[in-house]
Structure 1
Amino acid sequence: MKISLSKRTLKDGRISLSIEYYRGSEINKEGKRRHLKSFENLETYLFSNPKTPAEKKQNKEGLEFAENILSIRKAEYVQGKFDLKNTTKAKSTFLNYFAEKTKEKQEQDSSNNYGNWFSTLQHLKKIIPKNTIFDEVDEDFIKKVRHYFDNVARTKSDLPLSQNSKYSYFNKFKAALRSAFDEGYLSINYSSKIKSFEQAESQREYLTFDELQSLAKAECKYDVLKRAFLFSCLSGLRWSDINTLVWNEVRDEGEISKINYRQEKTEGVEYLYISAQARELLGERQDQTDRVFRGLKYGMTYNTEIIRWCNRAGVPKHITFHSARHTNAVLLLENGADIYTVSKRLGHREIRTTAIYAKIVDKKMKEAAEMIPTLQINL
């Protein structure tokens, strides 16, 4: 097979570069010779008549890039690695791979998780050339991406990324590298070779029992949303696990009910006992494979309704669906549950994750606030 650089003039006058793979020729049924060719578009273009120094420089760099790819392809063929029908994984582009992983998250409908993957992809497109293949991924490449998130990346409001955004986006990038290693796109697990960002402690919005009671009495436009949110408050289940919950995961054992499920976020198998009231929110049992909260979906419509529902209930807080999970943790701790039990119920891998909630309900700190005698103040 002959591998060469092909140039094609476009209508706008530019020259498009691609790799041509020529596998000889054959005689068809009509007795005509047909040449067997395939092309790999490099998405690299040259000026047909460069005039300025910038255009000449672009032509030089584009041609060097194309010739480098040509050399790589020839070496692959000699080594027996080249497959016309299946480009080797190492030659897959990183951004296409990350986009596929992002699409997988969207299909799993994991709300915030998909949103973070999508945002990460938009940032990576700004720092990683679209033709970058896995063979070009090394420690310097990863350090360059880390530096971008730490010092260059901006929000839509043109502000530097928050510490937690850096933490989240870079971890998605590392997750893709780890997955690529597991699937054979990379021969080295680079995700373990570079330090991630520290996660900043964030404020966790939650509902007090009285506020939760007000919500339970207030009108919500969507019954399935109200039941799912209150169920999360009583059980601690994440949105993603509630959204995918099916009836064969709900076990009714006499007067006791529990949920046997696999956490979408951690993929760990969990066995969660739920209260009688939480079980009532699930409704009557349906077919084993039916979703429990049929019709529940993630989107602006339901997110907005949560805010309106809170307004009707007189709850002056910015509450999201995930706030229900925070509410469950706080209410359990306030009512005497030990931190280990709460950690197990929430499916946390590390107790320090749960310890954040313990700070919220620190009774000694609350008592200390009232220790100083009342002052007689004249203003």
Structure 2
Amino acid sequence: MIDKHIDEYITFLKIEKGLSPASLSSYKQDLKHYLSYLDELGVKSLEKVDTDMLISFIKHLNEKGLSSKTISRTQSTLRNFHQFLLNQDVTKMNPAIKLTAVRGEKKLPEYLTIEEMETLLATPEDSPAGVRDSTMMEVLYASGIRVSELISIKKPDVNTEMGFIRVRGKGSKERIVPITDFVARQLEHYIVSIRPRLLKTEDTEDLFITNRGRGFTRQGLWKTIKKYEVLSGISKNITPHTFRHSFATHLIENGADLRAVQEMLGHSDISTTQIYTQISASKIREMYKQFHPRK
């Protein structure tokens, strides 16, 4: 019976909130763990759940060594799930409303220095696949878009003359992202001269296509980035998201307006963008400690 309510909630998030498949998967996984825990307690009805049970579940997650970020997300999931049940008249109260937010340490995202980024971008060879890979990485760094946004770009979304790309972010929200003149020229070269050589029997609207003539998957893009991590010799864990972190960090380090960076990243809350100011401040402190004569 509880399974049924979870499925109804996930359907609600998909249709009413327009959440991405990745977000839906995370929420469903959280609720499945929650359901398993309730089952261990012998709870068969959601009407029987109280705040003490929820606190016990959160402590259970903490003892398993889950990060504060994961626990915080789980608490939010539980709070919203039980509110949904209340709104649907399944229960008469929301026992999760009193859960205290977890305040854990914020891990600063890893990024590349400008020099490291230049090394990485210069790594692909001058071949059709190499030019494609180079163009993908240049777009990631020039725009700060997410992996899911990059692989969902279609040919009509690109305007090289005006210098922008239309991307679809979380919740299917569209936004216009600017690109540099250099990247616009590289995109034009890729679209006109390289992409047709990668196409096979069927045409596709996907902008970036594999050697088999199909659109990239998240896993395919991740493997491509990992390949150039090894070839570049950079001793950092480089993922597609590293480009996003580097994009934001380099802009803010060079004086970009925080609100403008928020808009380009597609963050709904500016507090999410502010973590990049912490990276900049952290770098300043390191330089201070390294170069001040009275260490």
| CA pair 368-239 structure 1, distance change in 2 beyond 3 A | same
Instruction: Tell me which residue corresponds to 1:246.
Output: 154
Please point out which of 87, 94, 114 is paired with 2:5.
94
The letter for the 2-side match of 1:204 is P
Q: Report Cα offsets for 1:296-320 as digits up to 9, x if no partner.
A: 1022x54344333212101111122
Equivalent residue in structure 2 for 1:123, among 33, 36, 48: 33
Question: In percent, how many aligned pairs have the same letter?
Answer: 20
Structure 1 position 143, deviation (Å): 5.5
TM superposition shift of 1:235: 0.2
Count of residue pairs the alignment pairs up: 271
Distance 1:374 1:168 in 2: 44
- Residue deviations 1:328-349 (CA, integer Å, cap 9, x gap): 1011112231222212211222
For residues 261 and 197 of structure 1, do their structure 2 counterparts lie closer, same or farther at Cα, with a shift above 3 Å needed?
same
Which residue pairs with 2:170 in the alignment? 264
Kept after mapping to 2: 8 A contact 1:240/1:264 = no
**In the alignment, structure 1 residue 284 sits paired with structure 2 residue 191:** yes
Aligned 8 A contact 2:109 2:245 in 1 = yes
Give distance in 2, aligned partners of 1:281 and 1:311: 25
Out of 279, 293, 297, the position equivalent to 2:208 is 293
Q: In the alignment, which residue of structure 2 is the partner of 1:32?
A: none
Q: 1:153 aligns with which of 61, 71, 95?
A: 61
Q: Which runs of 5+ in 1 are unaligned?
A: 1-41, 43-90
Q: TM-score, normalised by structure 2?
A: 0.71
Once superposed, what is the RMSD of the aligned Cα atoms? 4.2
Residue among 329, 332, 351 paired with 2:248: 329
Kept in 2, the 8 Å contact 1:235–1:278? The answer is no
Q: Give the TM-score of the pair, scaled to structure 1.
A: 0.57
Whether 2:145 is the aligned partner of 1:237: answer yes
Kindly state the Cα deviation for residue 164 of structure 1 after the two structures are TM-superposed: 1.3
Give the equivalent residue in structure 2 for 1:193: 97
Where structure 2 has 5 or more consecutive residues not aligned to the other structure, the ranges are 196-203, 210-214
**Bigger CA drift: 194-203 or 216-225?**
216-225
Letter in 2 for 1:228: M
Q: Give per-residue Cα distances to partners, 1:210-255, cap 9 Å, x unaligned.
A: 1111111213887655533431211011112222222343345xx4
* Partners of 2:249 and 2:279 within 8 A in 1: yes
Counterpart CA distance in 2 for 1:332 and 1:92 is: 46
Q: Say which SS state the counterpart of residue 240 (structure 2) adopts.
A: coil
Structure with bigger helix share is: 2
1:193-232 equivalences in 2 (<5 Å): 193-195=97-99, 196-198=101-103, 200-219=105-124, 226-232=134-140
Structure 1 residues 197, 374: CA separation in 2 closer, same or farther (over 3 Å shift)? closer
Aligned AA (1:201):
K
